[in-house]
Structure 1
Amino acid sequence: MPSPRKISRRFACVLAMSLTVIILILPAQLFEYSTYFPNITPKASQSSLPENNLSQIKYVPKLTNAQKIIDKEKEMEDITPISEKVTKASNVQKIINYDDQTEETVSSNSVKKVIILAYMRSGSSMTGKLLEQSDNSIYFFEPLRPLQWSYSRKIPLIDFNNKTRKIVSKGGNGERRTKLFEDLLSCKFRSTYKDIFLDRGHASDHRFLPFYKCVGKKIHKVDECLHIIQNVCDTSRLRIAKVIRLRAFEVVNILKKIPDIKVIHLLRDPRAIINSLKQIRFRFDAKERANFVCNLMRRNIITFEKTFELYPKQTATLFFESLAKNPMGVTKKLFDFIGVPRTDTVMKWITKNMLANISSGGPFSVYNRNSLVVSNKWRQQLKFKDVESIDSQCYDLYNVSGYFDVMNPENMKDPNIVHFRDDAPFIKSNLVDRIEEIENGEH
């Protein structure tokens, strides 16, 4: 019979082996699940700021200091390119239809590429959905989100050579972010990351649904199913990316790398943005939230206007309030700027989803709504004391935009008193002012 000492040694040995297995295997399993199913990662604490947080950038109290911030932000950019080889684009793309194996040629000059630079709860999903109604379009919903998941959760991304790549920091990925837009909008999917296509936000475009049905949630099936959306992209004449994680100082580099792109800066009343955040149960502190939102918007406006001076034909600012007030007229301007026709399909979608008699659906819905009613909900839903707190933090933003502060509760509730003008003199890139006057009463 073994001695007690031998028994204790055997027990210690078994225990040590068990702990080794747990230490080596369990993290691998967690890594696997968090990579393939990023939505199961525990949510951030209620005290965290929204996903488009740039907390490392300090508050700038004076407009004259804005250029210093812009220069400092540019210095943060990492200019090291990704090492993947990218095939040189030809003037004519050869497109294969994987359903019947027929071929079609599309001139690259006829393809329109658009980025919507927006803010969380700024009406960007509705604007992206509106553009998607154009014939032969493809809509990429928040393509930078997997990159943010990667650097915030320390999860490497997987490229199409099945190599993992670490996304190190928020401030050091400017070239990588620009290249992602360049590849997606040129349909060079295999130069990106497989994780990009597991983000089901893209299902906002119904043409992605067959791909997601094919791929399930398995990253190894992306290769097998990619041809489905590859064919959709290759045959598209309008390619749209909507992003709330992009900053205006990055736009110049994007315009240099993608010279045929158009960038639209979407603005919305910060009181409406904060009210919408409140409706989706974000931790609500009106003053704190306004400080973040308004300073970010002001910095972006100042930088975007400088970019507009260099690229006036490729950049434009769109106020959500202008679009909500006259959807048909402003949509015509928007489509004219992009260079695509405003078809009957687009106008029917506007009539059904922006000019409805009642607003239905939850806070994430873009269907069966009245956009003008939606744009003014903050006036009924916010308390006046919260609006006062927001206005106190947004004074500098109001100076460079078309928004006014609210003087008293009566003015706030009175529908005849407006708190926005879409002819803000500082914003020369304003889409409404630039092309032609909005058709009066066109609905």
Structure 2
Amino acid sequence: MLYSLCTAECCIGPETPLFPLKHLHFHTPRWSQVSDVTALAESTQVVILSYMRSGTSFLGKIFDVNTDALYVFEPLWKVCEHIVPSFAKLRFLNGSVVDPGTSCEDIGQSIIRSFLTCNLLNIDQSTLTQFWMAHGRKTIKLLNCIERSSITTCVYRFIEVCRQSNVRILKTIRARLERTLSTLEMLPHVKVIHLVRDPRAIISSRRLMGEYYHRNLLATGSGICGDMRRDIHTFKNLPQEFQGRILQIRYEDLSADPVHMAEFIYSYLRLEMPTNVVTWIKNNTHSKADDGKPLGTLRADSRKTASKWRERISWSTVKSMERACQDVLEDLGYVLTSSEDTLRNLSISLTKERKLLTR
């Protein structure tokens, strides 16, 4: 099956040339030739770290439409959701077979570092071929190449694509900030964007997707806030050597003024934001209608979209979440509701103004 990726501006699919690079010289390097320091000096490496249903698809797309960027969508999905839980093995292009252990945390950070440094030979085949790779403008071409040629040939070619990308960025909901510090320690040029969202909105959005058909909602909500609580603690107590490398932003602020926030994020990363990114943001936050897709980024009004949860969530769920997550809500600048009328009245903001936080 050949994959297609369509945006408001163009469509990348089977008919798109594979890796259309000028003067691409294909060669087969030895396994040891690709290391964690490959081509770091002239590129920007970023990890978007967040939680399911927190706006990461939209934030990631702000970089994916940048033609200088290589964007990787949820690279830890296969390992964390399938390989580790089923006690399966990781298989690599050199023929080696590795037991990943009982936690995806360590192997997850290795995958993150390998994508950021174009060290793709250190990534298992199941990760390189997972269907989420179809969510990036460049990674989709790797999948389509594999449909037509050998995976080895395609991966070596994609290493060149990676090396020629001035910005390398990935987004994940399957890594926590504390463990990601090991990547910051090993790769001193990497920065993290910690995207947070009101946990009451997160639980409402997840419920719409049917996630709680067989789960206890309160237990899951407590789990969400547990992850956020640990990340907030890590963010507040960063060792000196990591300060200045982590930016914490709220989805609500991004939705309220997406162009300004995007400009700030690009500036924080010391990048110039291309004009086509501005065009994409305007087209996708003020469209005629939402695209209605769970992972879609097309919105009629991004500000209103960020508040829709207040109209559909039950009052009892809100109170349960506020009891379980009060400290998280207060730390991130969200307002507790005093009544159901307050919840439903969208003219009353549940988001306090605050400065953007970096550590």
TM-score norm. by structure 1 comes to 0.69
Aligned equivalents of 1:86 and 1:303: distance in 2? 35
Aligned equivalents of 1:386 and 1:243: distance in 2? 27
Shift of 1:247: 0.9
Pair 228,422 (structure 1): closer, same or farther in 2 beyond 3 Å: farther
CA contact (8 A) 2:44 2:168 kept: yes
Tell me the secondary structure at the aligned position of residue 273 of structure 2.
Answer: coil
Decide which structure has greater helix share.
1
Pair 86,318 (structure 1): closer, same or farther in 2 beyond 3 Å: farther
Deviations 1:321-341 (A, max 9, x none): 110011111111100011211
CA contact (8 A) 2:65 2:137 kept: no
CA contact (8 A) 1:139 1:202 kept: no
Tell me the secondary structure at the aligned position of residue 63 of structure 2.
Answer: helix
Shift of 1:237: 0.5
Shift of 1:422: 4.1
CA contact (8 A) 1:251 1:307 kept: no
CA contact (8 A) 1:286 1:389 kept: no
Aligned equivalents of 2:33 and 2:102: distance in 1? 24
Question: RMSD in angstroms over aligned alpha carbons?
Answer: 2.2
Aligned equivalents of 2:134 and 2:300: distance in 1? 21
Query: Structure 1: where are the runs of 5+ without partners?
Result: 1-83, 94-107, 431-443
Deviations 1:187-206 (A, max 9, x none): 11112212221112011112
Shift of 1:302: 0.9
CA contact (8 A) 2:64 2:137 kept: no
**Which residue type is aligned with residue 124 of structure 1?**
T
Counterpart selection for 2:130 from 199, 206, 209: 199
Counterpart selection for 2:96 from 151, 160, 163: 163
- Quote the sequence identity (%): 23
Deviations 1:374-423 (A, max 9, x none): 21111111111211111111112123221121111111111221111241
- Bigger Rg, which one: 1
Match of 2:53 in 1: 121
User: Does 1:266 find its partner at 2:195?
Assistant: yes
Counterpart selection for 2:236 from 305, 311, 317: 305
Aligned equivalents of 1:276 and 1:321: distance in 2? 14
Match of 2:20 in 1: none
Tell me the secondary structure at the aligned position of residue 78 of structure 2.
Answer: helix
Tell me the secondary structure at the aligned position of residue 84 of structure 2.
Answer: helix
Shift of 1:308: 6.9
- Residue correspondence of structure 1 range 321-340 to structure 2 within 5 A: 321-340=252-271
Match of 2:329 in 1: 398
- Residue correspondence of structure 1 range 232-247 to structure 2 within 5 A: 232-247=161-176
Tell me the secondary structure at the aligned position of residue 238 of structure 2.
Answer: helix
Shift of 1:227: 3.5
Pair 421,255 (structure 1): closer, same or farther in 2 beyond 3 Å: same
Counterpart selection for 2:146 from 215, 219, 228: 215
Deviations 1:235-257 (A, max 9, x none): 10010110111011112211111
Aligned length: 326
Pair 421,142 (structure 1): closer, same or farther in 2 beyond 3 Å: same
Deviations 1:114-169 (A, max 9, x none): 00111011111111111222231111111122221211111111112112111111
CA contact (8 A) 2:71 2:137 kept: no
Indicate the larger mover: 288-297 or 234-243: 288-297
CA contact (8 A) 1:156 1:165 kept: yes
Match of 1:50 in 2: none
Aligned equivalents of 1:167 and 1:349: distance in 2? 39
Match of 2:78 in 1: 146
Aligned equivalents of 2:320 and 2:187: distance in 1? 41
User: Does 1:254 find its partner at 2:183?
Assistant: yes
TM-score norm. by structure 2 comes to 0.84
CA contact (8 A) 2:245 2:358 kept: no
Match of 2:204 in 1: 275
Query: Structure 2: where are the runs of 5+ without partners?
Result: 1-30
Match of 2:110 in 1: 179
Match of 1:411 in 2: 342
Indicate the larger mover: 411-420 or 222-231: 222-231
Pair 88,360 (structure 1): closer, same or farther in 2 beyond 3 Å: closer
Shift of 1:87: 4.0
CA contact (8 A) 1:139 1:205 kept: yes
Per chain length, whose mean CA-contact separation is higher, i.e. which structure has more relative contact order (CA < 8 Å, sep 6+)?
2
